[in-house]
Homo-oligomer: A and B are copies of this chain.
């Protein structure tokens, strides 16, 4: 192992940091995808879409979903079609704009997402098990600092 092998002492700290973060993220992500596939027959983008909707009872418009999921619109249509076909989400009309829909979880979708989220949480908690609460908080803050700076440079607007 290790993709991280790429980062060597001759490289600046930032590069070693990035390679470690990338490797770790891929490792955890791979496990999450496996869990979603094996336990629920679903995929990470589908889970992501449902997660976006979970705390928005009124749903989200397609372009909002697209922006939040960081993928282009056509893909959101495809995933939404799948989930709608399984009765997990539904499209509802937006009054005042007949072009747009809002997508929201159905009761069945909400129930299934609750189960998935519970398993997912167990998996993630285990992954970060080695950190003390204080360390976890520090990590969270440092990542937040990087992300905020990054957004400022590349994605001016935010919610």
Contacts and interface: CB of A to CB of B under 8 A. Distances in A.
Nearest to A139: B142
Given A2-B68, A24-B150, A158-B2, A135 B143 contact: no
B142 A17 contact: no
Contacts of A140: 13, 16-17, 20
Given A55-B8, A124-B15, A159-B2, A20 B143 contact: yes
A92 interface: no
Interface residues on A, range: 35 or more
Interface string A113-151: 000000011001111111101011111101111111111
Contacts of A149: 129-130
B151 A1 contact: yes
